[in-house]
Structure 1
Amino acid sequence: MSAGETTVPGNGVPGVPGNGTTGVPGNGTTGVPGNGTPDVPGITPVLVRLKLSLLRNGMRQSSGRRAAFILSGVLALLFAALQLIGLIVLRGNEHATTVVVLLTALLGLGWAVMPLFFPSGDETLDPTRLVMLPLRPRPLVRALLTASLVGIGPLFTFCLALGSVISVAHGAAAAAVGVVAVALTLLLCVALARAVAAANIRLLSSRKGRDLAVLSGLVIAVGIQVVNFGAQRLSNAGGLAKLDPVADVLSWVPPASAIGAVDAVSDGAYGRGAAQLLLAAAALAALLWSWERSLVKLMTSPDGSTLQAAEPARKESSRGFGGRHLPGGRTGTVIERSLRYVWRDPKTKAAWVTSLVIGLIVPVFNALQGTGTIYFACFAAGMLGIQMYNQFGQDTSAFWMVAMTISTPRDAYEELRARALALLVITLPYSVLVTVLTAALVGDWQALPEALGLSFGLLGAMLATGAVASVRFPYSIPQGSTHKNVAPGQAGLAWISILGGMIAAALLCAPLITLTIWLHVADADGWLWLVLPLGTAYGALITWAGVRWSAPQAAERLPEILSAVSKG
């Protein structure tokens, strides 16, 4: 033994006789006697505790968030309990199978799209947060799937699946299959959400993903309209019997196929029930396999944060959005900037898409229900005209750059005029499209010219009052919050701007509306076509007057406008 070595005989490790490992006699593993496997706790309990900690710590962030979570949880559980009772009461009804199959299919669809529109609703949906940990994909899938069963959503799904099985299960064999069907339905829904989130996590963490989150409210609103329309159509068409063929098809589509298997076994069709149950199990296996492959790709492939761009940046033309066809000077620049806001800014894009969709579904749905007229097409012009209100609010604190370029009322006039023209690029053809489509659905082509004239007149009045409201009642639009469109303390300004402007626009359109009504009352149907050119000219004139009147005030109130739009 050389100098400097330990005085313990028989090994080369201080204080340990007879082996080469610290503190463990007879093996080569730290802290585990007699074997070569470390005593590592399972990952599943760790992630379940992590999920519970995230829920608990989320409620601790603020009293408002805690109250919102508790209220949403109570409402969800109450609705789940009522739905469970309703499905149990449905037992024995001839259309029970149709109802439960459709509900289960809609539930699966909801779980599939939930990660796309609410990516920040569950922090554990992002597996890239675990990329630095030495975890294998298969145990990670098992642990994440188990952790995903903790929460209000899985409990709601369990209640619906249980109620669906109770309503269609008849006999011991069907009850036994129902136990498996409930488990498969719950696991399928959760795995579907996880697989979709993992496959689209790059999208969800990008600007486009945030755009989807902003548009979530619109999707819900449109969905409610579709459900309402469907319910009315069913009530007029003879009830749920019309949906039986649809339910027969969906009973072979997972997760609804699991519930369909219970109904098949209740009817004695054991072969069909086994096939539907195996189809649900195969779909679960395919989802887990796809989820695992997505995790492998996420945890082994580099992304934009770890690599330089592999390709040289593409050269963009100096003028986008058709800039070559725009006029020169301030007008063309402002039009292009406004169109870029519509395309790139999440809040502006959400406002535009909401107006476009609602402006279409109101006249179209009323026409399909047989309660609409062609004059409902003016609703599209009104919804799009609202985009003129609070023009400077979308600039936020960056409005100072615009303010630096305005030194005279003429500059302010050109700024407001260009912003109005940018809106007309979209609103004019869209108003024509909605009016023509409504005329086709209601079959009233004779009233098309007057409806277009009224739409153009209303649009012009909205642009005029929007210019005035943008100057007199500007307010800030918070960029950090997804669901807040008004800064704290400015809600009154927003209401005055929008509601006051809409009332003023309706009053400005009174001469045109009066003319149209008078022509109808006087039986002068042959002169109704004059409403189109008169409405177009009146809309252009009133827009010019509103912009012209607002320009000097805008030039004088630049500091006040900047202060108002920079809050929040």
Structure 2
Amino acid sequence: MVGVLTLMKLRVLAHSTSGARAGGLFLGAAAGLALAAGTIMLAGADLPGPALRGDLFTAALAVWMFGWLLGPVYTGGGDESIRPEQLALIPLPPRRVAFGFLAVSFIGVGPLISLVAFSALVVYAAGLGLAAFIVALVLVPLQLVLVVALSRLMLAVMGLAVRSRPSAVLSALINAGVNATLNQSWVLIWAAVQFGLVDRGLPAGFATLLRVLPSGWAVVCLDALARGDWPLAAATGAGLVALPVAATLIWSRLLVRRTTTRPAHRGPGRGRTPLLDRLDRAGPVGVVAAKELRTWSRDLMRLHLRWFAIWFGLVYTLWPLAIGWAGLLPWAGVIVVVMAAATSANLYGLDGTALWLTLVDPGRIRADVRGRQVAWLIQVAPVAVALTVAGTALGGGAWTWPWALALLAALLGGGAGLIAYASVVFLVPGPEPARRGGNPLDAGNIFGQVLAMLVVVPATALPAAGVALLGNRTGSPLLSWAAVAVGLATGAACTWWLGREAYRRLGERGPELLARMSGGGTVTPGPGRATAARVKLPPRRAAVVTFLVVVCWIPLFPQGLVPLYLIWRGSDTRLWFLALHLDDPFRVPVAVAMALLGVGMLWLGTVLSRRWQGAAA
């Protein structure tokens, strides 16, 4: 059983790890190894007092555990290269299937990197005695089994949780809340520095909580061995063995429910409403928009993604209130728009092969794209406007209004254009909606697409931001408010132009896109221009291009443009900005050099990709 599943998994990896996917895998592995190295260094760090080292190391292990719990959910439903549904007709006991799939889960880059990170337990135990050192060698694989088993259980629970609309909204709140909290971890770091926690240690209650979590049981076991507390060491060690077994047994029962039940839809999500009636009478574009609105309310995947964007924007901007700073509240609507666009950039991929209904009537293609844009704006704009107005009134000043409104207008238009364009040009094949019942969170491998949208969508607001900045610089309120008009103009232009490009390309490449979705992303290249457009980069070159395009934003924005802005404002903030830790006259040249480095990396990545495509043609 395990051998067959292992061969299947290896064969899938061999055929799917190429091109941009290989580049993304290489980049993710490099980042993971860097985090693993940091964990090992923390485990052996010479900190004031062993308690502080244990507290921080336990916190790092908790971060790894939550990464395993939430990472698969956040990146499109986890690894579904082999599905339990494929074995549904084979007479196998559920427990055997569950343990087989658990064994296969250890095949991949992620488990290997986690194993390296958890080897920090050996480093931590090096100074606790021979018994702790020997036990740590056993705890390292147990820690890996623990997080993988809990990850599979978490994914199964989330898959069942989004089988009704109320639970889909609630699960989106939990998912977005934890992700926003991890993204706003700087608040916790700032609080730790302000209150001297780095020197005095973590609060006793929080330190205890970290050790109560399953991720901290290994540290508790090692500390107990160092003190000679053998009963506690035996109890925590037994817990590290029993919990993965229990999680796998529970998962086996959930696998039965997954393969034998379907999501519960309690009636239509949207009935006959005045808005839908007006759209139905508004021509082909209105009909498509009404159809999309009904789909957004009935498709649990889309419902989950929409509410994830809303909850993420809210929690992300509310977190700084914990340290008494309300400066992010005006940007709640902006963040919701960016996240909604990032999670909506694969509309045709989510629909599956239903695209053929549009392609058989070429006259419907333009209306289909425009209708989807209208529906997305109807879904996102009211919430974003309400959050922007409320957040600016509560946490902004007079200067914030033109900024917030200008950026919101530009991003709404840019997002409406980019979701249509990306859905056609960068389509990610996913499972058919009717076959997504086993795992409603399975949206395909959309992580790279989401990451790219999180970078490109904010770029559509740069003209409006430039005018608003110029208004602040010159002290002209009229010029500052002119940024709102610029935002409206650029937003409308992005919606119109990118939408036009989307339906033109859909008309030209529609059959190819349909074949990609039918074949899971594998299409035999046709003759002519389309062949060159679909040539894949070699794995090494794809890794280099992916590294350049992804990493270039670090020197460009955080180490380049942001320090230049802070220097211009005369801010004393230093944080992790390299240029701000230098003395004049080196601050500005270093910040400019970092910005130019980022631009150069982006240019080089683009040139390498285009030259290979041209050579292949």
- Indicate how the Cα distance of structure 1 residues 380 and 477 shifts in structure 2: closer, same or farther if over 3 A, else same: farther
- Deviation for aligned residue 1:157: 2.8
Give the Cα separation in 2 of the matches to 1:200 and 1:358: 17
Quick one: which of 504, 518, 543 aligns to 1:563?
Answer: 504
Which amino acid letter does the alignment assign opposite residue 282 of structure 2?
R
Quick one: which of 35, 39, 44 aligns to 1:83?
Answer: 39
- Alignment of 1:249 with 2:187, yes or no, is no
- Alignment of 1:102 with 2:62, yes or no, is no
Q: What are the equivalent positions in structure 2 for 1:481-492 lying under 5 Å apart?
A: 481=429
Q: Identity across aligned pairs (percent)? A: 20
Give the Cα separation in 2 of the matches to 1:262 and 1:44: 33
CA-to-aligned-CA distance 1:41-60 (integer Å, 9 cap, x gap): xx33443444444433433x
Give the Cα separation in 2 of the matches to 1:124 and 1:550: 36
CA-to-aligned-CA distance 1:104-127 (integer Å, 9 cap, x gap): 222222222344334665346632
- Indicate how the Cα distance of structure 1 residues 69 and 213 shifts in structure 2: closer, same or farther if over 3 A, else same: farther
Give the Cα separation in 2 of the matches to 1:540 and 1:64: 39
- Deviation for aligned residue 1:238: 0.9
| Contact in 2 for aligned 1:118/1:216 (Cα 8 Å) | no
CA-to-aligned-CA distance 1:512-561 (integer Å, 9 cap, x gap): x67995689xxxxxxxxxx9xxx7x99699969997x999x99xx99877
- Alignment of 1:151 with 2:108, yes or no, is yes
Q: What are the equivalent positions in structure 2 for 1:117-266 lying under 5 Å apart?
A: 117-118=74-75, 121-123=78-80, 126-168=83-125, 170-199=128-157, 222=180, 224-240=182-198, 241-266=201-226
| Contact in 1 for aligned 2:405/2:484 (Cα 8 Å) | yes
| Contact in 2 for aligned 1:461/1:542 (Cα 8 Å) | yes
- Indicate how the Cα distance of structure 1 residues 53 and 218 shifts in structure 2: closer, same or farther if over 3 A, else same: same
| Contact in 2 for aligned 1:475/1:486 (Cα 8 Å) | no
1:293 matched residue in structure 2: 253
Give the Cα separation in 1 of the matches to 2:490 and 2:282: 20
1:527 matched residue in structure 2: none
Quick one: which of 316, 319, 326 aligns to 2:272?
Answer: 319
Give the Cα separation in 1 of the matches to 2:225 and 2:368: 75
Quick one: which of 390, 395, 407 aligns to 1:438?
Answer: 395
Give the Cα separation in 1 of the matches to 2:7 and 2:346: 44
Quick one: which of 351, 364, 368 aligns to 1:401?
Answer: 364
- Alignment of 1:480 with 2:480, yes or no, is no
- Deviation for aligned residue 1:89: 4.1
Residue 480 of structure 1 aligns to a residue whose secondary structure is: coil
Give the Cα separation in 2 of the matches to 1:281 and 1:510: 58
Give the Cα separation in 2 of the matches to 1:476 and 1:424: 23
Quick one: which of 35, 41, 56 aligns to 2:14?
Answer: 56
1:27 matched residue in structure 2: none
Q: What are the equivalent positions in structure 2 for 1:299-378 lying under 5 Å apart?
A: 302-304=260-262, 314=267, 318-320=271-273, 323=275, 330=282, 339=293, 356=310, 364=318, 373=327, 377=330
CA-to-aligned-CA distance 1:337-375 (integer Å, 9 cap, x gap): 67557657899879966875676567656665567648x
Residue 95 of structure 1 aligns to a residue whose secondary structure is: helix
Which amino acid letter does the alignment assign opposite residue 107 of structure 1?
W
| Contact in 2 for aligned 1:48/1:147 (Cα 8 Å) | yes
Give the Cα separation in 2 of the matches to 1:405 and 1:137: 44
Give the Cα separation in 2 of the matches to 1:474 and 1:118: 17
Structure 1 window deviating more from structure 2 (454-463 vs 145-154): it is: 454-463
- Indicate how the Cα distance of structure 1 residues 385 and 543 shifts in structure 2: closer, same or farther if over 3 A, else same: farther
Which amino acid letter does the alignment assign opposite residue 115 of structure 2?
F
1:425 matched residue in structure 2: 382
CA-to-aligned-CA distance 1:297-330 (integer Å, 9 cap, x gap): 456xx3459xxx9x9x94676525x738979953
CA-to-aligned-CA distance 1:398-426 (integer Å, 9 cap, x gap): 595385699xxxxx9x9999987775422
CA-to-aligned-CA distance 1:273-295 (integer Å, 9 cap, x gap): 33333333342332132123234
- Deviation for aligned residue 1:149: 3.2
Structure 1 window deviating more from structure 2 (234-243 vs 324-333): it is: 324-333
How many positions carry a matched residue from both structures?
473
- Indicate how the Cα distance of structure 1 residues 329 and 505 shifts in structure 2: closer, same or farther if over 3 A, else same: farther
- Across the aligned residues of Structure 1 and Structure 2, the Cα RMSD in angstroms comes to 5.9
- Deviation for aligned residue 1:434: 2.0
| Contact in 1 for aligned 2:9/2:81 (Cα 8 Å) | yes
- Indicate how the Cα distance of structure 1 residues 541 and 424 shifts in structure 2: closer, same or farther if over 3 A, else same: farther
Identify unmatched segments of 5+ residues in structure 1. Answer: 1-42, 407-411, 440-446, 521-530
Give the Cα separation in 2 of the matches to 1:294 and 1:260: 31
- Deviation for aligned residue 1:216: 13
CA-to-aligned-CA distance 1:96-146 (integer Å, 9 cap, x gap): 211222222222222223443346653466322222323233444444333
| Contact in 2 for aligned 1:127/1:295 (Cα 8 Å) | yes
CA-to-aligned-CA distance 1:37-85 (integer Å, 9 cap, x gap): xxxxxx33443444444433433xx344445445544554465355335
Quick one: which of 450, 461, 466 aligns to 1:502?
Answer: 461
Give the Cα separation in 1 of the matches to 2:203 and 2:130: 28
Which amino acid letter does the alignment assign opposite residue 87 of structure 2?
L
CA-to-aligned-CA distance 1:412-458 (integer Å, 9 cap, x gap): 9x99999877754223212123224425xxxxxxx4x7755764466
Residue 202 of structure 2 aligns to a residue whose secondary structure is: helix
- Alignment of 1:276 with 2:229, yes or no, is no
Give the Cα separation in 2 of the matches to 1:485 and 1:52: 21
- Indicate how the Cα distance of structure 1 residues 166 and 429 shifts in structure 2: closer, same or farther if over 3 A, else same: same
- Deviation for aligned residue 1:207: 12
Residue 89 of structure 2 aligns to a residue whose secondary structure is: coil
Give the Cα separation in 2 of the matches to 1:255 and 1:388: 34
- Deviation for aligned residue 1:195: 2.6
Which amino acid letter does the alignment assign opposite residue 44 of structure 1?
V
Residue 189 of structure 2 aligns to a residue whose secondary structure is: helix
- Deviation for aligned residue 1:506: 4.5
- Indicate how the Cα distance of structure 1 residues 165 and 95 shifts in structure 2: closer, same or farther if over 3 A, else same: farther
Give the Cα separation in 2 of the matches to 1:122 and 1:357: 25
Larger Rg: 1 or 2?
Answer: 1
Identify unmatched segments of 5+ residues in structure 2. Answer: 350-354, 430-443, 514-617
1:528 matched residue in structure 2: none
